[in-house]
Copies of this chain bind each other. A is one copy, B any other.
């Protein structure tokens, strides 16, 4: 089975994974917004710790209206743009097209499913240090694995073929049995580092090397594990230590929210903070420090 892929949001995430797939010979069609003119002339450049490459020529489009229908749509947009998906996606969709949200946060698939109730939808978590450093230019600094989990629909064959395609493209690919757990696990890292690097205007390594913020990062991680537990996602407590150790070993890194803030883009407060806090509260657990970080971020966003 040859899958045709659409990449909606060809930035740090969509551009990297779409680029990897295209570079290994898959049939990939990229939606660009402001970068469209640039990539049609210069291609998509990926500087990667796993080897640099350029996709040129590239199947680039400025509107989904001109794109072919695809088997898999990989959404790499910021969640702050997800309200646009019901208008953007339809030209790409056959009844069995799988839409995969490679995004951070909670509640995204449910919201999309309410707009596209009959479409197969999956979520994916990317464990990657990647950023857009210029027009059509992505820098991949570390990691890169992706974990996918179905939200609704039955796409076993498609996902099995995706695994083949991604692994041929040199991307470690896991299939999660529980998307909810995958989402919460990702939040264990995202909730402390995304918000604190913005609120304290710093980087991951400085948070880790100062005892007070190392303790705060740990508190926030434990809060996410506790919240996950009441939301039917069992995360072993050792996962916190594992994330701390992983971050200690990471190249000092600006998480996506810090890059968004520094570049005056909207921050993904709703998906990464408000939705988890609300979901946990509805299940009976109050994520107090996470909520405080959300409140601080909303203040900071109000001054952006």
A interface residues (Cβ-Cβ under 8 A, vs B): 199-200, 202, 207, 210-213, 215-216, 219, 288-289, 291-296, 298-300, 302
Q: Closest CB of chain B to A222's CB: distance in Å?
A: 11
Complex alpha-carbon distance, A122 and B213, angstroms: 35
The closest CB in chain B to the CB of A287 belongs to B288
Whether B295 pairs with A215 at a CB distance below 8 angstroms is yes
Contact A299/B200 with A289-B288, A292-B292 known, Cβ cut-off 8 Å: yes
Partner of A212, one of B200, B289, B302: B302
Q: Closest CB of chain B to A274's CB: distance in Å?
A: 10
Complex alpha-carbon distance, A299 and B209, angstroms: 10
The closest CB in chain B to the CB of A217 belongs to B295
Q: Closest CB of chain B to A293's CB: distance in Å?
A: 8
Complex alpha-carbon distance, A295 and B199, angstroms: 12
Whether B200 pairs with A292 at a CB distance below 8 angstroms is no
Chain B residue contacts of A298, Cβ below 8 A: 210-213
Chain B residue contacts of A216, Cβ below 8 A: 292, 295-296, 299
Q: Closest CB of chain B to A303's CB: distance in Å?
A: 8
What is the copy number of this chain in the assembly? 2
Q: Can you list 30 A-B contacts with CB-CB less than 8 angstroms, sorted by A residue number?
A: A199-B199, A199-B200, A199-B296, A200-B296, A200-B299, A200-B300, A207-B299, A210-B302, A211-B298, A212-B294, A212-B296, A212-B298, A212-B299, A213-B295, A213-B299, A215-B295, A216-B292, A216-B295, A216-B296, A216-B299, A219-B288, A219-B292, A219-B295, A288-B288, A288-B289, A288-B292, A289-B289, A289-B291, A292-B292, A292-B293
Closest 6 CB pairs of A and B: A212-B298, A216-B295, A288-B288, A212-B295, A213-B299, A289-B292
Complex alpha-carbon distance, A211 and B295, angstroms: 9
Chain B residue contacts of A299, Cβ below 8 A: 200, 202, 207, 210, 212-213, 216
List 10 other contacts, CB 8 Å, given A210-B298, A212-B296, A216-B295: A200-B296, A200-B300, A210-B299, A212-B294, A213-B296, A216-B296, A216-B299, A219-B292, A288-B288, A289-B292
The closest CB in chain B to the CB of A207 belongs to B299
The closest CB in chain B to the CB of A215 belongs to B295
Complex alpha-carbon distance, A207 and B299, angstroms: 8
Q: Closest CB of chain B to A254's CB: distance in Å?
A: 17
Complex alpha-carbon distance, A288 and B222, angstroms: 13
The closest CB in chain B to the CB of A212 belongs to B298
Complex alpha-carbon distance, A239 and B290, angstroms: 26
Chain B residue contacts of A293, Cβ below 8 A: 292
Q: Closest CB of chain B to A249's CB: distance in Å?
A: 21
The closest CB in chain B to the CB of A200 belongs to B299
